[in-house]
Amino acid sequence: MDEEIVVVETTSGMMEAEILRGLLEAQDITVWLLQESAGRAIGLGVGPLGQVDLMVPADQAAEATRILDDYYAGRLMEQDDQSPEES
């Protein structure tokens, strides 16, 4: 596998990273999570050792970034709140 992998987001902990991974995977984006091994070994969930990188294939990075931007801006909530007649 010679595919380039890029970091699209860094979260403050594994719980947030898992939520964002689920969001991206629901949109057919492949996601890997990377956390400093020392942080996992001693169970740190905050600070630099608790940070988790969300990584995606480079060819999916733009779409992943757009989805994350929409999520943080609340635009995904607006789409979910619309009834089928409003779409």
Q: By the 8 A CB rule, do 10 and 55 touch?
A: no
What is the predicted pLDDT for the residue at 4? 96
72 within domain boundaries: yes
85 within domain boundaries: no
Domain extent at residue 63: 5-80
Number of domains within the chain? 1
Residue 45 and residue 11: Cα distance in Å, rounded? 10
CATH for 60 = 3.30.70
Nearest to 15 by CA among 57, 52, 67, 64: 52
Residue 73 and residue 71: Cα distance in Å, rounded? 5
What is the predicted pLDDT for the residue at 87? 47
pLDDT along the chain (87 residues), means of 10: 88 91 97 76 62 95 97 78 55
87 within domain boundaries: no
42 within domain boundaries: yes
The alpha helices in 1-87, defined as continuous H runs, are 14-25, 37-41, 61-73, 75-81
23 within domain boundaries: yes
86 within domain boundaries: no
